[in-house]
């Protein structure tokens, strides 16, 4: 399978790339290409021009700055996986970095691409919903910041304008007594999730939930923020009973469809069980375990 | 349709070519350069048979455009042996019976030789994690893991 013909440009700067997206009809950003190139080969997408942003310097980084952990859009998923900072302080991100597709794909696949593609089966969207992240995008008028909750509009549809490029995702820096986890059920390494759950919690000095983020992967048209479950836990003690209640609410928030990976009921059940386990793990990690 | 002039260093040798935008790296290697050691398996980024190293990192060459490799270094299975001497991972697969049909083997070797470069003494878990994007339908992986361990020992001895 060979993609249909297209033109290709590889600008050296962000402003050239943004200009190119505005200039060419039906143009598309090429980041890691691990979804885009296969869908072009299947002829599910036929952009006329690919704007390759791999040659733009300065878009791959992971650093803490001014209250945020900032991740450059072109950071390869494997960079996250091997980052000591992520490993030590951001357990949810460390978890997700080990289960996105497979290790070889992660050498090309980027954090920015995983988000910008707005595929509900991708793992970063639910992760970033749980973290309460912000997206930084560059367009012809400069930079704008998009809260993650307003970023995913539909299946493969994000808040990015056609001539905007996602350049950074940032999450609040790790606080004391915080922790997270990502649990994914997959039929095999490299498959999309049957269902997966991202959790991020912060406990107060008494062990009550100060903040809770829960994101669900591949059980709806977009990644889903399980707000009823989050709201239920806020201010409550981090007991197993409360976590079980929240897991049920998260399962209610899922909107799965039956496919080769399972029935609706099965997937909802996976969401409940994985929310339970991921919350337990997040609490354990928040307590330093 | 656009054509691009590219320069790619493959196994230490510079290759120049005019390529179409849509030419995949795997086709560039196999069809333009007749380097057929890199296999096409699933054609869908799933199986890892087409794995090559791009600037030292294993990537699936069915999901990389040839033009993306412009100015970069590619290493393929043809570049593993030096002066007729097998790479320790090649020797390991031979010694430990780490292949049967051999179709996955080139990709498997490009992944594991990169692993050993980065992590000279991987645990069994680390080996299994590293090869989890390379499918083998024959061996059940046991002997592939042994082959990587053999290669790690051999490289530690300076071989």
Q: Is A112 exposed, middle or buried (0-12, 13-18, 19+ CB in 10 A)?
A: buried
CA–CA gap between residue B140 and residue B128 (Å, rounded)? 11
CB contacts of B65 in chain A (<8 Å) are 8, 30, 33, 37
The minimum CA-CA distance between B22 and chain A, rounded to whole Å, is 6
CB contacts of B1 in chain A (<8 Å) are 5, 7
DSSP state of A175: P
Q: Tell me, what's the pLDDT at B158?
A: 82
Closest Cα partner for A129 from A33, A250, A227, A210? A227
Section B134-158 average pLDDT: 96
Pick the CATH number of A178-286 from 3.30.390.50, 2.60.40.1180, 3.20.20.140, 3.40.50.300: 3.30.390.50
- CA–chain centroid gap for A114, Å, is 6
How does the average pLDDT of chain B come out, rounded?
Answer: 96
Which residue of chain B has the CA closest to A47? B22
Interface check for A189 against chain B (CB to CB < 8 A): the answer is: yes
CB contacts of B63 in chain A (<8 Å) are 33-34, 37-38, 105, 108
3-class DSSP assignment, residue B10: strand
Section A212-239 average pLDDT: 98
CB contacts of B31 in chain A (<8 Å) are none
Q: For A178-204, what is each residue's pLDDT tens digit?
A: 999 999 999 999 999 999 999 999 999
DSSP state of A101: S
User: Does the pLDDT at position B117 exceed 80?
Assistant: yes
A104–B43 CB contact, under 8 Å: no
Section A7-20 average pLDDT: 98
ipTM confidence = 0.97
Domain B3-79 has CATH 3.90.1150.10: no
Q: For B39-85, what is each residue's pLDDT tens digit?
A: 999 988 999 999 999 999 999 999 999 999 999 999 999 999 999 99
**pLDDT category, B1, cuts 50, 70, 90?**
low
Tell me how far apart the terminal alpha carbons of chain A are, to the nearest angstrom: 49
Interface check for A105 against chain B (CB to CB < 8 A): the answer is: yes
Instruction: Report CA torsion sign: A124, A125, A126, A129.
Output: positive
Q: Say which residue the tokens 């009823």 belong to.
A: A228
User: Does the pLDDT at position B159 exceed 70?
Assistant: no
Q: For B82-110, what is each residue's pLDDT tens digit?
A: 999 999 999 999 999 999 999 999 999 99
CATH 3.30.465.10 domain residues, chain A: 62-172
CA–CA gap between residue B45 and residue A108 (Å, rounded)? 12
Q: How far is CA A11 from CA A29, A57, A238, B25, in A?
A: 11, 10, 50, 20
What b/e sequence results for B32-62 when a residue is b if at least 16 CB atoms lie within 10 Å of its CB, and e otherwise?
ebebebbbbbebebbbbbbbbbbeebbbbbb
Instruction: Specify whether the CB–CB gap between B71 and B7 falls below 8 A.
Output: yes
User: Does the pLDDT at position A229 exceed 70?
Assistant: yes
CA–CA gap between residue A43 and residue A37 (Å, rounded)? 10
CB contacts of A48 in chain B (<8 Å) are none
Instruction: Specify whether the CB–CB gap between B66 and B6 falls below 8 A.
Output: yes
Pick the CATH number of A62-172 from 3.30.565.10, 3.40.50.300, 3.30.465.10, 3.40.50.360: 3.30.465.10
Region of A235 on the Ramachandran plot (φ > 0 left; ψ -120 to 50 alpha; else beta): left
CA–CA gap between residue B70 and residue B116 (Å, rounded)? 26
Q: Tell me, what's the pLDDT at A122?
A: 98
Between A and B, how many CB-CB pairs are < 8 A? Answer: 87
| CATH topology classification for B88-156 | DNA polymerase; domain 1 (1.10.150)
The minimum CA-CA distance between B157 and chain A, rounded to whole Å, is 27
B133–A34 CB contact, under 8 Å: no
DSSP A183-246: EEE-SSTTSPPSEEEEEEEEE-TTSBEEEEEEEEESSSSS-EE-HHHHHHHTTSB--HHHHHHH
Q: For A30-44, what is each residue's pLDDT tens digit?
A: 999 999 999 999 999
H runs (alpha helix) in chain B? 25-27, 88-95, 105-118, 124-130, 142-156
- Under CATH, which architecture does the A7-52 domain have? 2-Layer Sandwich (3.30)
Nearest to A104 among B2, B20, B59 (CB): B59
Q: Tell me, what's the pLDDT at B2?
A: 81
Q: Tell me, what's the pLDDT at A155?
A: 97
Say which range, A155-159, A170-174, A236-240, B2-6, has the weakest mean pLDDT: B2-6
Q: How many Cβ atoms are within 10 Å of A208's Cβ, its own excluded?
A: 15
């Amino acid at each position: 399978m060979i993609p249909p013909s297209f033109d290709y440009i590889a600008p050296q700067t962000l402003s050239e790339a943004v200009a190119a997206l505005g200039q060419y009809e039906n143009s598309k950003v090429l980041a890691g290409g691990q979804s885009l190139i296969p869908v072009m080969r299947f002829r599910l997408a036929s952009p006329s021009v690919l704007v390759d942003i791999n040659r733009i310097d300065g878009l791959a980084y992971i650093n803490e700055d001014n209250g945020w952990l900032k991740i450059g859009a072109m950071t390869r998923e494997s960079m996250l996986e091997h980052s000591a900072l992520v490993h030590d302080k951001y357990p949810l991100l460390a978890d997700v970095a080990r289960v996105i597709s497979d290790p070889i794909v992660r050498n090309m696949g980027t954090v920015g691409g995983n988000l910008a593609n707005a595929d509900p089966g991708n793992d970063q969207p639910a992760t970033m919903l749980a973290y309460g992240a912000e997206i930084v995008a560059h367009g012809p008028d400069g930079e704008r910041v998009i809260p993650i909750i307003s970023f995913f509009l539909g299946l493969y549809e994000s808040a990015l304008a056609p001539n905007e490029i996602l350049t950074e995702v940032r999450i609040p820096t790790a606080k004391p007594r915080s922790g997270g986890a990502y649990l994914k059920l997959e039929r095999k390494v490299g498959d999309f999730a049957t269902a997966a759950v991202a959790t991020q919690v912060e406990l107060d000095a008494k062990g009550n939930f100060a903040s809770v983020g829960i994101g669900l992967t591949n059980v709806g048209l977009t990644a889903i923020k399980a707000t009823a479950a989050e709201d239920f836990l806020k201010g409550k003690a981090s007991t197993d009973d409360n976590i079980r209640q929240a897991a049920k609410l998260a399962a209610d928030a899922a909107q799965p469809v039956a496919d080769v990976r399972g029935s609706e009921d099965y997937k909802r059940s996976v969401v409940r069980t994985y929310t339970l386990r991921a919350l337990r793990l997040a609490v354990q990690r928040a307590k330093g375990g | 349709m656009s054509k691009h002039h590219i320069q790619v260093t493959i196994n230490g040798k510079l290759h120049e070519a005019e390529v179409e935008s849509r030419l995949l790296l795997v086709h560039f290697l196999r069809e333009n350069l007749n380097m057929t050691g890199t296999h096409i398996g699933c054609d869908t980024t799933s199986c890892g048979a087409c794995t090559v190293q791009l600037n030292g990192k294993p990537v699936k060459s069915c999901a990389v455009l040839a033009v993306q490799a412009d100015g970069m270094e590619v290493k393929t299975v043809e570049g593993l042996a030096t002066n007729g001497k097998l790479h320790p991972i090649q020797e390991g697969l031979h010694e430990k019976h780490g292949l049967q049909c051999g179709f996955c083997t080139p990709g498997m070797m490009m992944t594991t030789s990169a692993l050993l470069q980065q992590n000279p003494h991987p645990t069994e878990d680390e080996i299994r994690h590293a090869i989890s994007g390379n499918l083998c339908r024959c061996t059940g992986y046991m002997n592939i893991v042994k082959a990587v361990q053999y290669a790690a020992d051999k490289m530690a001895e300076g071989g």
